[in-house]
Amino acid sequence: MNLEDRELDALLRDVPVPPGLHDELKQIPDEFEPVRLHTSSIGSWQLVAAIAIAASLIGIACWLVWPEMKPGKLEIAQQNVVEHPPAQVGNEIDWLSEQIAELAWELESREQLAKLSELRQAESMGAVALQKPAERDALTMYLSSEAASTWGAGNDFVEAEMQQIIERYPDTAGASRAQEFLKQSTEL
Amino acid sequence: MTRDDQLHRLFELAVDENADAMFRVAWRLTGEREWATELVQETYLQAWQGLESLRDRSRLQSWMFGILHRQYLKQLRRKTRLKFSIFDESSAAEQPAASGEKDVVDRREQVQLAIEQLSDDHRLPILLVSMEGVSVDEAAEILGWPRGTVLSRLHRGRQRLKELLERQIDITN
């Protein structure tokens, strides 16, 4: 049998969309709000690292832009960034801590202990990272680069950032994650 | 209308106009209903959180396909990829095997199996350009490939997909 082009296209499009998908998606704005930070105005890596780690734990996007980056490299992230003075950053951390506590409670109530353990492990990793400057900076840079990748930064840029983490902060958790990221990107 | 109202309205438009296309592409990429739904939800979450960064709103669909593509690659890195039949137990339960529908289900499964045999390099341009009508230039931008690469992979992918489907249909008949 010979398939015509239009028959092939019709076959491809024949996918039943789940009922209720639109309604479910439309609830997203009621449940999630973006968190935007500008690190150059904060001037504290420790706070930024804490927020980045907390944000990644609860699965929200955290826009990070730091002074070492050349203008334009992260143009998507830099648009419409709200600058938080340090006092407000403290509030953000409080808010994020509440979210984590809430999430942990939900996980426990659902008896998803494996996830809870993963969460706690990541939390302690964050705590360790904050005590060691190289660990802290490597992890922050990794999380930011991963976020940049999600937001549409080019592969070349993200890969160069990952490479820089490996070279600048060898033997850190951030470098291992960067290495893993590059390995998997190559495999894909 | 406030800025927030505008963003909410734009997001609703993104759902109304693009959610079906996003789901079709997600399903064809993952071959799994649950994963496809998760991928679409994550895409819309990312889109909502970054909606303010969208400069040209006429490019909403290709911007969203870009997020979907990056989310797919990200999730692929994290998951051990398992091959599922297009209709897993839950979807089979929703669609009881009425005799008249069996052929449709079989045909969908054949198409999905053929698509899964293609590499992502060949599959992605087919899904974007052939299935969803995205222009070759936009697909090149979404995928980060040169235009010529999109065209050649699209051509080769379609040829291969046709061969696979024709063979399957001949066997079935």
Q: Record the pTM.
A: 0.57
**CA A85 to CA A42: how far, in whole Å?**
6
Instruction: Mark yes or no for CB contact A28/B120 under 8 Å.
Output: no
Q: What is the CA radius of gyration of chain B?
A: 17
Mean pLDDT of chain A: 58
Mutation target vs A (from B12, B27, B131; most A CBs, 10 A cutoff): B131
CA neighbours within 13 Å on the CB side: how many for A41?
Answer: 14
Note the pLDDT of residue A82. 35
Q: Touching check for B158 and chain A: CB below 8 Å?
A: yes
pLDDT class of A21 with cuts at 50, 70, 90: very high
Two structure tokens written together for B169? 């249909």
Higher-pLDDT residue of B9 and A143 is B9
Residue B151 CA to residue B115 CA, distance in Å, equals 18
Q: What is the pLDDT of residue B51?
A: 77
* Contact: B49, A32; criterion CB under 8 Å: yes
Q: How far is B153 from chain A (nearest CA, A)?
A: 16
pLDDT number for residue B53:
62
DSSP B100: H
* Per-residue pLDDT tens digits for A118-127: 444 444 444 4
Residues 12-71 of B with CB under 8 A from A: 12, 15-16, 19-20, 23-24, 27-28, 33, 37, 40-41, 44-46, 48-50, 52-53, 55, 63, 66-67, 70-71
Contacts 24+ apart (CB under 8 A), B155-162: B156/B122, B157/B118, B157/B121, B157/B122, B157/B123, B157/B125, B157/B126, B158/A5, B158/A8, B158/B126, B158/B130, B160/B118, B160/B122, B161/A8, B161/B114, B161/B115, B161/B118, B161/B122, B161/B126, B162/A3, B162/A8
Tell me the ipTM for this assembly: 0.77
Mean pLDDT in residue range A15-28: 91
Sign of CA dihedral B137, B142, B148, B154: negative
Q: What is the pLDDT of residues A34-72, one digit of tens each?
A: 444 333 333 333 344 444 444 444 443 333 333 333 332
For A22, which of B15, B24, B49 is closest by C-beta distance? Answer: B15
Q: What residues of chain B lie within 8 A of the CB of A155, using their CB?
A: 144
For residues A55 and A59, give the distance between their C-alpha atoms in angstroms, rounded to a whole number: 6
User: Which pLDDT score is estimated for B19?
Assistant: 96
Band the pLDDT of B168: cuts 50, 70, 90.
confident
Average per-residue pLDDT for chain B? 80
